[in-house]
Chains A and B, each alone.
Chain A
């Protein structure tokens, strides 16, 4: 069998293609059929229905998926476990969903007519997914033409009152400010924007996978991390062009791909939230690198207990980041006044890694300030200098700075020794 054929056969094992058809939902057209709607038949067939407000309307589409549908590495229902796990976590963390019910999470994404953040950039589709009792509901709000925004946001804000638990990908700096901009323009005609809260998964994706992925775009994360493999997807960057073409030619079937793209985006956000929560709370398989990055994430949030636990995990199982983990641990123990453990780690590090002078510096500090043993302190200061000398450095300025700092330390210790002897 040729490699190509082999690959073809194995393809479905490599990642899970998302071709499962959603459960068809019958659109419930408005009882009074309004003659003003363009393409009413098409929308009805597409499972979408109009929503009227004053003289205008927007298009609403609902799609259901079974709760046990597989989407990449997880079933949708797995997100319930993920949220359940967070209930046990007493740490501050941007993904922490403690106190929330899984049905309160709104996985949210928009399609816009451009990427610039100005007043001329229109959102033509708001999409979100939500976990219901026995299914996943995708809810899309579509702008049938510029100028119908009042109808769109009237429906959106009257039906989605609670926006405190949005889950987005880059929503913090893109989608949400854009919603605010659009709202400002029509604020006299629609309800005011509710308070909103946010899980922005882009931030976490950057923390966990920035170094392992070529880019942390959602499409890349999906493919490389979540095992979601889209077939016949309409790439997001085409969305504005297709919308313009739809506006000019009036053919709504042009947008089928955009609806589906948006639908898949908000579904993938469920899987991404599930997986990211698992990586952070330790309830799924995670690579050493991921564990290490999760530890660093906790460390940056000053959640010392969690950070310590995760670094220890890396140390126990690990082969790939032992030095950094040990160093971080030593620093964490020092912070917690368990300096004896730190000292042990520093000694180990000094033996194991000949290329890093920092443990020696730390030891020198320890003997100088804690033990007042200046001779030992000097010994470690000198060995720090020797290690440092053996290293190659890239920038001249930093080199001078480091050299001065080390020299100063040695000089001071020598004087201390003379002083006290």
Chain B
């Protein structure tokens, strides 16, 4: 037996040359002192004494600012890093209000059920100390029917999630009269998660909420809390439609944090291929785990999570048992997740491998080390994940392990980009027509519309007339009434474009067939096709049958040494061109497209070596997506088709990483597709489209900054040390083609296009 090392000693190991030569950047973030102020006298005496009893004798400065803003009846957004006492930012004003007026109500919105459960226990402890009769409840899918009635009638504080608000509360607002009549505060926790499609949906849910409040005569103050993003005030104003006060004078202390950038060694010089980030992350995690240092490992996809989990469980099997390392991601069932969270808090779980599901404020206690397998795609996200280590003022280590992707290599070689730049803006587009129409239906179901009514800041007369034509609404006099026998909220999911999930059924044990998880339809095309290896909690399952119509995947446990990776073929049709800039040689355009995606083949890839050991076809129907896109069209002069394709693929590979970086979105929200002969003009074209029906404004933004995007792409390719293109720039291709050179040539050709013509 070797002796366990402390975190400092482990850091000494990291400083040894063998490892330290791969550490390209070591940043130490010095500890920060607390900025405290006395508890204000105006605070209700019961709350004061409750705080004293809990050992809180002063407030951080930002908590006081929040309290004061609420007293001035201002809606506000508080930007607070992990573990800075953000809950008091909203709990103080809310409890103050309820203590003074027992009739008053507050609604708390958390992005997930788990967070609501957490916060309920926290606020209830405080309420118990206060000794007042204040009732706080969670209201979600798990709330038993008999409790629901109590919550509706008597809950001072109702904690729920946007999905529940959307489908269960608002459409039944007549059962919540006392809530809506007396609603004083709406708390939106984890504001930064409300971006993209989800945020656009929730902004509309809040428009509906405010409409109903107005009907019942209340006008609640909105309190938001957010992790660090570039535009918290703007986002909060978009989401709630209220003017917002920004509170960002964080006064909480923080411990010393070491942030390390780790670049795996190059194993193939000509191709500039580095060792797999997954394998390196495994080795680093092992170093911490075998010294009993609780560690969280983040991976970018569900599959990576499961692969890492398999590796790590194998490593520690003898010492702690498999159970001490757990996976944590969206597809797990809620009960499983609760158990893991608890295990982390009480120390039974030594390590956890997670997707970004644990970025959120789920309380898992104190972890010392955090390993990011690959750059998470955004600065904000990276800081959120890094915040998981050393929440409570301890020294902690965060290691970011770069993959070979261009984005990772860019970030890891430009630490200033990461450390000096402000985090991304979170974007949403509540006026996306498809989302807007969906929620107008729900809103009309809830209360009739009147001519010239607005919805948020949107004029909606035209949409209402359209819904009349569709026989969903009925116009009588000046009013629009819901006239349909359906329940619109049930058909609208806030979380994803595809509405129904595929259920994963384990039939290993014929006598005990059970559901082990679920997955959205689009992902299931590439992850749950027949013969796919599906990994769940580190156990391998092979998909035996995917019933795409019934949305069921039947799997059986297997033990193989490979995983599967599927290809998705995408075709694009331009429906309408909205904007275009042209010169003789090329064109940039923006407009509506129809995307048709089809899973084609899958490859079997061996563990450890990651060799391709076989493949097979996938037989699944096409999925259609109607969205907005921007595209670049090239005039092909002299290149052979083969060379042209190589060049386009190379550019697309770079754009896939650069474009999200410059419109500041998740890489999954934008797709890049190169085509040698696009359907609409028979010319070589590269498309970038929004991964959501109707678009959420991302590709439009790319269209507006094509010059910058192309410049950056060019720099990235030129700066890469490889010769003929590598996974870190233009990707690897079959031999004989220098994709790097071709890509540079094509970009140079398209740059400097002529003046802008708006075709509308």
Q: Do A and B form a real pair?
A: yes
* A-to-B contact residues, CB < 8 Å: 113-120, 122, 145-147, 180-181, 184-185, 240-241, 244, 247-248
Which chain A positions have C-beta within 8 A of B486?
A: 114, 116
Whether B476 lies near A119 (C-beta < 8 A) is: no
Whether A244 lies near B484 (C-beta < 8 A) is: yes
Task: Give the residues from 212 to 269 in chain B that come closer than 8 angstroms, CB to CB, to chain A.
Answer: none
Interface size class of B (residues with CB under 8 A): 20 to 34
Distance (whole angstroms) from the CB of A176 to the closest CB of chain B:
13
Whether A147 lies near B446 (C-beta < 8 A) is: no
Say yes or no: A240-B174 contact (C-beta < 8 A), given A119-B446, A119-B447, A147-B448.
no
Would you call B684 an interface residue if the criterion is a C-beta within 8 Å of the partner chain's C-beta atoms?
A: no
Which chain B positions have C-beta within 8 A of A247?
A: 474, 476, 483
Which chain A positions have C-beta within 8 A of B485?
A: 113-115, 240-241, 244
Which chain A positions have C-beta within 8 A of B175?
A: 181
Which chain A positions have C-beta within 8 A of B471?
A: 244, 248
Whether B479 lies near A120 (C-beta < 8 A) is: no
Which chain A positions have C-beta within 8 A of B172?
A: 117-119, 181
Whether A185 lies near B174 (C-beta < 8 A) is: yes
Distance (whole angstroms) from the CB of A379 to the closest CB of chain B:
39
Distance (whole angstroms) from the CB of B409 to the closest CB of chain A:
52
Which chain B positions have C-beta within 8 A of A180?
A: 174
Could you tell me the distance between the alpha carbons of A247 and B476 in the complex, rounded to whole angstroms?
9
Whether B477 lies near A119 (C-beta < 8 A) is: no
Whether A118 lies near B487 (C-beta < 8 A) is: yes
Could you tell me the distance between the alpha carbons of A145 and B448 in the complex, rounded to whole angstroms?
13
Could you tell me the distance between the alpha carbons of A241 and B486 in the complex, rounded to whole angstroms?
11
Known: A120-B446, A244-B471, A244-B474. 19 other contacts (CB 8 A): A113-B484, A113-B485, A118-B445, A118-B487, A118-B489, A119-B445, A120-B484, A145-B474, A146-B448, A146-B474, A146-B476, A146-B481, A147-B479, A147-B481, A180-B174, A181-B174, A241-B485, A247-B474, A248-B474
Q: Which of B447, B482, B483 has the most CB of A within 10 A?
A: B483
Which chain A positions have C-beta within 8 A of B173?
A: 119
Distance (whole angstroms) from the CB of B464 to the closest CB of chain A:
14
Which chain A positions have C-beta within 8 A of B177?
A: 184
Would you call B444 an interface residue if the criterion is a C-beta within 8 Å of the partner chain's C-beta atoms?
A: yes
Would you call B390 an interface residue if the criterion is a C-beta within 8 Å of the partner chain's C-beta atoms?
A: no
Q: List 25 A-B contacts (CB under 8 A).
A: A113-B482, A113-B485, A114-B486, A116-B486, A116-B487, A118-B171, A118-B445, A119-B172, A119-B173, A119-B174, A120-B171, A120-B487, A120-B488, A122-B482, A145-B474, A147-B448, A184-B174, A184-B177, A185-B174, A240-B485, A241-B485, A247-B474, A247-B476, A247-B483, A248-B474
Distance (whole angstroms) from the CB of B240 to the closest CB of chain A:
22
**B476 touches which one: A114, A118, A147, A244 (CB < 8 A)?**
A147
Q: What is the chain A residue whose CB lies nearest that of B441?
A: A120
Could you tell me the distance between the alpha carbons of A113 and B444 in the complex, rounded to whole angstroms?
14
Q: What is the chain B residue whose CB lies nearest that of A118?
A: B171
Whether A146 lies near B483 (C-beta < 8 A) is: yes
Which chain B positions have C-beta within 8 A of A145?
A: 474, 476
Q: Which of A119, A185, A244, A248 has the most CB of B within 10 A?
A: A119
Task: Give the residues from 167 to 189 in chain B that come closer than 8 angstroms, CB to CB, to chain A.
Answer: 171-175, 177
* B-to-A contact residues, CB < 8 Å: 171-175, 177, 444-448, 471, 474, 476-477, 479, 481-489
Could you tell me the distance between the alpha carbons of A116 and B172 in the complex, rounded to whole angstroms?
10
Which chain B positions have C-beta within 8 A of A116?
A: 171, 486-487
Could you tell me the distance between the alpha carbons of A265 and B488 in the complex, rounded to whole angstroms?
29
Whether A120 lies near B482 (C-beta < 8 A) is: yes
Q: What is the chain B residue whose CB lies nearest that of A113?
A: B485
Distance (whole angstroms) from the CB of B237 to the closest CB of chain A:
28
Which chain B positions have C-beta within 8 A of A122?
A: 481-482
Distance (whole angstroms) from the CB of A133 to the closest CB of chain B:
39
Distance (whole angstroms) from the CB of A37 to the closest CB of chain B:
14
Q: What is the chain B residue whose CB lies nearest that of A180?
A: B174
Distance (whole angstroms) from the CB of A17 to the closest CB of chain B:
30
Which chain A positions have C-beta within 8 A of B445?
A: 118-120
Distance (whole angstroms) from the CB of B31 to the closest CB of chain A:
53
Distance (whole angstroms) from the CB of B456 to the closest CB of chain A:
20
Q: Which of A116, A184, A241 has the most CB of B within 10 A?
A: A116
Could you tell me the distance between the alpha carbons of A82 and B177 in the complex, rounded to whole angstroms?
41
Could you tell me the distance between the alpha carbons of A397 and B445 in the complex, rounded to whole angstroms?
48
Could you tell me the distance between the alpha carbons of A147 and B486 in the complex, rounded to whole angstroms?
19
Closest 5 CB pairs of A and B: A120-B445, A146-B481, A114-B485, A116-B487, A118-B171
Distance (whole angstroms) from the CB of B268 to the closest CB of chain A:
58
Which chain B positions have C-beta within 8 A of A244?
A: 471, 474, 483-485
Which chain B positions have C-beta within 8 A of A113?
A: 482-485
Could you tell me the distance between the alpha carbons of A239 and B664 in the complex, rounded to whole angstroms?
51
Which chain A positions have C-beta within 8 A of B474?
A: 145-146, 244, 247-248
Which chain A positions have C-beta within 8 A of B446?
A: 118-120
Could you tell me the distance between the alpha carbons of A285 and B481 in the complex, rounded to whole angstroms?
50
**B484 touches which one: A114, A184, A185 (CB < 8 A)?**
A114
